[in-house]
Copies of this chain bind each other. A is one copy, B any other.
Amino acid sequence: MSQQDRATAPAATPGPSRAAGAAPRTVPEATVSRFAVYLRVLGQLSADDVATVSSEQLAALAGVGSAKLRKDLSFLGSTGTRGVGYDVDRLRTRLEHTLGATRRRQVAVVGVGNLGAALAGYDGFGERGFPVAALFDADPARVGALVGGTTVHHVDELAPVCHELGVDIGVVATPAESAQDACDRLVAAGVRCILTFAPVPLAVPDAVEVRRVDLAAELQVLSFHVARREAGPAPAPPPAHPSPRAAGARPAGPRPARSTTRRNGPVIVP
């Protein structure tokens, strides 16, 4: 979530048709999200010529517990070697395959305001296999402009352009009022996966997948925690470690950083 979620129906791919091939395997949503993180870390390790990692190391780099990581990877079937660890490249390939990251996915961004323009110029997308292939806006003043190396088209052109470029994923970065319209157009153009930044629920057919990122809501959650702290002033000076980071000297690979982020555990409210 922080995310959206479905309202009704027991849902979930009925997946009856399983012909010949490897045994089917059901992967929890939460695990899929983390796969993306592991993949990124593995890419970096690979670039650093690291050949194998232990669950402990990989977990530290990804910011999760090692038990969770092993459990996650177990959904891929056996990929590690006991007593040794995981072969970086092998695991990476396996993950890429599972995530469908073997080929690049063309991305279309609708709404070239502040956010949309930033996304168009955001290198992180292209680097990870998601080139922004097309930009759309309803404002004629913006149409034709070159943003982040891509020309802005009018939304009316959406369907043909998306078709031609083979767009797989749509990003809605319009104001809230136009979000549903943008979404409808994407759906009509055959796009079946949508990432939206508009803070409104989008109505889509069952076959379309939507993920919502609500930035202001994120801040609001943080705000809640600030407020919590202000109310209850430091329950006690941290019992143990005064400075979080200490661990062993960095071994070889990149940062040994470990997330000390507080997340679980419900909170008391006055």
Could you tell me which A residues sit within 8 Å of B by CB distance?
1-18, 21-22, 24-30, 32-33, 35-37, 39-40, 59-65, 75, 98-101, 105, 107, 114-115, 117-119, 121-122, 124-125, 127-130, 148, 168-169, 180, 192-195, 199-230, 232, 234-236, 238-239, 241, 243-245, 255, 257-270
Contact = CB atoms under 8 A, between A and B. Distances in A.
Given A33-B221, A232-B17, A260 B98 contact: no
Given A180-B255, A209-B222, A213-B213, 9 more contacts: A1-B2, A8-B260, A11-B263, A99-B223, A101-B220, A115-B118, A125-B216, A130-B220, A192-B229
Name the prevailing secondary structure of the A interface residues: loop
B228 A40 contact: no
Contacts of A37: 199, 214, 217
A11 B265 contact: yes
Nearest to A39: B220
